[in-house]
Structure 1
Amino acid sequence: MPSYFIGRFFYIQSNLNTQTIIMQSFRSELENIENPVVQQDIIDLAEKIQLHKDGKIDDDKFRSLRLARGVYGQRQPGVQMIRIKLPFGRLSARQLVRIADLAEEFGSGNLHATTRQDIQLHYVSLDRSPELWAKLEQDDITLREACGNTVRNITASAYAGVDPAEPFDVAPYAEEMFKYFLRNPICQEMGRKFKIAFSSSEEDSALSFIHDLGFIPKVKTVEGEVVRGFKVLLGGGLGAQPSMAEPIFDFLEEDRLIPFSEAIIRVFDRWGERNRRMKARFKFLLKDLGVEEILRLAAEEEQALPNKSYAIPYADFQQASIPEEIYPEVVASELEEKFALWKEVNVNPQKQEGFFSVAIKLPNGDLKSDRARAFAAVAQKFAQDDFRVTINQGYILRFVNEENLPALFNALDALNLAEPGFDSLADITACPGTDSCNLAISNSTNIATVLENVVINEYPEYVKNHAMNIKISGCPNACGQHTIASIGIHGSSLRNKENKKTLPALQLLLGGGIGKDGVGYLGEKVIKIPSKRGPEALRMLLNDYETHAEDGEYYYAYFLRQGKDYFFNLLKPLANLTTLIPDDYLDWGYTTEYKVETEVGECAGVIVDLVATLFFEVEEKIGLSEAAVADGRYADGIYHAYAALVNAAKALLIAKEVKASNQVKVIQAFDKEYVQTGDVSVAGGSFEEFVLRINKQDPTAAFAQQYLAEAKAFTETLKEFQKKQEVV
Structure 2
Amino acid sequence: MLSFRSELENPIVQKEILDLDKKIRQFRGGQMPEEKFRSLRLTRGIYGQRQPGVQMVRIKLPFGRLTVKQWYRICDVSDEYASKNLHLTTRQDIQIHFVSLDRTPELWEKLAQDDITLREACGNTVRNVTASPNAGIDPNEPFDVSSYAHQTFKYFVRNPICQEMGRKFKIAFSSSDEDTAFSYIHDIGLIPKVQLENGEEVRGFKVKVGGGLGAQPMLAYTAYEFLPEDQVIPFIESVIRVFDRHGERVSRNKARMKYLIQKIGFDAFMELVAQERTANKTKSYVFDRNSVPQAEPAPEKEVPKVEILNQQHYNDWLKTNVTEQKQKGFYAVWVRVLKGDIPTDKARILAQLVKEYAADDVRVTPNQGLLFKYIRQEALPYVFHVLNTLGFALPGFNSTTDITTCPGTDTCNLGITNSMNLAEVLEKMMLDEYPDLIYNNDINIKISGCMNSCGQHGLAQIGFHGSSIKHGPHVIPALQVMLGGGTVADGEGRLAERVVKVPTKKGPDILRVLFDDFEKNGQEGELFNEYYDRQGKNYFYQLLKPLADLTKLQPGDYVDWGHVEQFATAIGVGECAGVMIDLVATLLFDAEEKAEWAAEALSQGANADAIYYSYSVFVGTAKALLLDKGVSANTQIGIINDFEANFVKDGTFTFAPDFRTHVMQINQNEPTADFAASYLADAFRFLEAASAYRGAAVKRPELLTEILKVNV
Equivalent in 223, 228, 233 of residue 253 of structure 1: 228
Distance 1:471 1:681 in 2: 56
CA 316–85 in structure 1, closer or farther in 2 if over 3 Å, else same: closer
Name the residue aligned to 1:174.
149
Give the RMSD, CA atoms, in angstroms: 1.3
Name the residue aligned to 1:708.
680
Equivalent in 70, 75, 92 of residue 67 of structure 2: 92
1:333: how far off? 4.3
Distance 1:156 1:143 in 2: 18
1:321: how far off? 3.4
Name the residue aligned to 2:691.
719
Equivalent in 613, 623, 628 of residue 596 of structure 2: 623
Name the residue aligned to 2:459.
484
Residue by residue over 1:540-593, the C-alpha shift from the partner in whole angstroms, topping out at 9 and shown as x without a partner, is 111111111123322111111111111111111111111111111111111111
Greater Cα offset, 697-706 or 173-182? 697-706
Residue by residue over 1:311-347, the C-alpha shift from the partner in whole angstroms, topping out at 9 and shown as x without a partner, is 0011443234321314445552422211111110000
Find out whether 1:601 has 2:577 as its counterpart.
no
Name the residue aligned to 2:560.
587
Greater Cα offset, 63-72 or 508-517? 508-517
Residue by residue over 1:658-682, the C-alpha shift from the partner in whole angstroms, topping out at 9 and shown as x without a partner, is 1111111101111111111100122
Distance 2:490 2:432 in 1: 32
Distance 1:324 1:453 in 2: 38
Equivalent in 232, 237, 240 of residue 265 of structure 1: 240
Aligned partner of residue 613 in structure 1, secondary structure:
helix
Name the residue aligned to 1:374.
349
Contact 1:378 1:412 survives alignment (8 Å) = no
Name the residue aligned to 2:628.
655
Equivalent in 49, 60, 85 of residue 110 of structure 1: 85
Q: AA paired with 1:521?
A: R
Equivalent in 564, 574, 583 of residue 610 of structure 1: 583
Name the residue aligned to 1:427.
402
Find out whether 1:27 has 2:30 as its counterpart.
no
Aligned partner of residue 309 in structure 2, secondary structure:
helix
> TM-score, normalized by length of structure 2?
0.96
CA 680–505 in structure 1, closer or farther in 2 if over 3 Å, else same: same
Residue by residue over 1:234-268, the C-alpha shift from the partner in whole angstroms, topping out at 9 and shown as x without a partner, is 11000000000111210000000000000000000
1:486: how far off? 1.1
Name the residue aligned to 2:509.
536
Distance 1:115 1:407 in 2: 28
CA 329–466 in structure 1, closer or farther in 2 if over 3 Å, else same: farther
1:200: how far off? 0.6
Greater Cα offset, 710-719 or 480-489? 710-719
Distance 1:647 1:471 in 2: 41
1:411: how far off? 2.1
Distance 1:163 1:107 in 2: 35
Residue by residue over 1:384-427, the C-alpha shift from the partner in whole angstroms, topping out at 9 and shown as x without a partner, is 10010000000000111122211221222222221111111111
1:685: how far off? 3.3
Equivalent residue pairs, number: 697
Name the residue aligned to 2:38.
63
Aligned partner of residue 667 in structure 1, secondary structure:
helix
The gaps in structure 2 that reach 5 residues or longer are 698-712
Find out whether 1:697 has 2:669 as its counterpart.
yes
Contact 2:308 2:381 survives alignment (8 Å) = no
Distance 1:95 1:338 in 2: 32
Equivalent in 29, 47, 50 of residue 22 of structure 2: 47
1:483: how far off? 0.7
Greater Cα offset, 408-417 or 686-695? 408-417
Residue by residue over 1:667-712, the C-alpha shift from the partner in whole angstroms, topping out at 9 and shown as x without a partner, is 1111111111100122x23111111111111111111111112211
Distance 1:412 1:240 in 2: 37
Distance 2:695 2:534 in 1: 67
> TM-score, normalized by length of structure 1?
0.94
Find out whether 1:523 has 2:486 as its counterpart.
no
CA 461–180 in structure 1, closer or farther in 2 if over 3 Å, else same: same
The gaps in structure 1 that reach 5 residues or longer are 1-9, 11-25
CA 698–229 in structure 1, closer or farther in 2 if over 3 Å, else same: same
Contact 1:393 1:429 survives alignment (8 Å) = yes
Distance 1:283 1:468 in 2: 27
Find out whether 1:295 has 2:270 as its counterpart.
yes
Distance 1:142 1:623 in 2: 25
Distance 1:569 1:436 in 2: 35
Name the residue aligned to 2:216.
241
1:32: how far off? 4.2
Q: AA paired with 2:678?
A: Q
Name the residue aligned to 1:22.
none
Residue by residue over 1:500-557, the C-alpha shift from the partner in whole angstroms, topping out at 9 and shown as x without a partner, is 1111111110111123676311111111111111111111111111111123322111
Find out whether 1:560 has 2:560 as its counterpart.
no
Distance 1:427 1:265 in 2: 35
1:52: how far off? 1.5
Equivalent in 414, 427, 436 of residue 461 of structure 1: 436
- Equivalent positions of 1:438-453 (< 5 A) are 438-453=413-428
Find out whether 1:144 has 2:116 as its counterpart.
no
Equivalent in 137, 157, 168 of residue 162 of structure 1: 137
1:59: how far off? 1.9
Name the residue aligned to 2:358.
383
Name the residue aligned to 1:505.
478
Contact 1:331 1:339 survives alignment (8 Å) = no
Distance 1:51 1:616 in 2: 15
Greater Cα offset, 405-414 or 695-704? 405-414
Name the residue aligned to 1:678.
651
Name the residue aligned to 1:347.
322
Residue by residue over 1:132-159, the C-alpha shift from the partner in whole angstroms, topping out at 9 and shown as x without a partner, is 1111111000000000000000000000
Equivalent in 687, 695, 707 of residue 659 of structure 2: 687
Aligned partner of residue 493 in structure 1, secondary structure:
strand
Name the residue aligned to 1:633.
606
